[in-house]
Amino acid sequence: MRVLVQRVNYAKVEVDGKIVGSIQKGLLLFVGFTNGDSSKEIDWMINRIINLRIYEDENGVMNKSLNEVGGSILSVSQFTLYADASKGNRPSYIKAMPGEQSIKLYDEFNTKLKEKNIHTETGIFGADMKVSLLNDGPISIILEK
């Protein structure tokens, strides 16, 4: 499982010209799964994301987590996180989990985030999505389990 975490002032995702998910201050998550991923990876990843200390404290030191600043999450499925561009110019996506399997894990991931009392919005799995954001920092971190 890979997640690209971006600290944002705002983010939104549109499908067919309609906003399907949007947040203000929080984290934009691009979420990808590979073969063998399970609930175990999801639980680890959620714990890591919500406790990641990437917000400034009163001294300007990145020492606060999403929960401590009351931030939200916008979760967007992203199979291209498992692109392999090591050969040729066309990336291979063979390491990405097939859609019919990864949609179940993606739904579980988002459900578990909401169960942690974090305001969580999502894109639409498999849709052609347009994502807009204002990266704060910029802070972008890749997490992998």
Confidence of residue 43 (pLDDT cuts 50, 70, 90): very high
Predicted pLDDT of residue 6:
98
State the chain's mean pLDDT as an integer.
Answer: 97
Predicted pLDDT of residue 38:
96
Report CA Rg, the chain. 15
SS3 114: helix
Domains of the chain, earliest start first: 2-144 (3.50.80.10)
DSSP 92: B
Distance between CA atoms of residues 106 and 76, nearest Å? 9
Angle at 124 between CA 82 and CA 49, to 5 degrees: 60
CB 66 within 8 A of CB 128: no
| List of long-range contacts for 136-140, beta carbons under 8 Å, 24+ apart | 136/7, 136/8, 136/9, 136/25, 137/7, 138/6, 138/7, 139/5, 139/6, 139/7, 139/54, 140/4, 140/5, 140/6, 140/7
- Which residue, chain included where needed, has tokens 């009392």? 117
Distance between CA atoms of residues 42 and 47, nearest Å? 9
Please give the average per-residue pLDDT across 115-138, as a whole number: 97
Please give the positions annotated as active site: 78-80
Predicted pLDDT of residue 139:
97
Report the percent of the chain where pLDDT is more than 70.
Answer: 100
CB 63 within 8 A of CB 17: no
Please give the average per-residue pLDDT across 37-63, as a whole number: 97
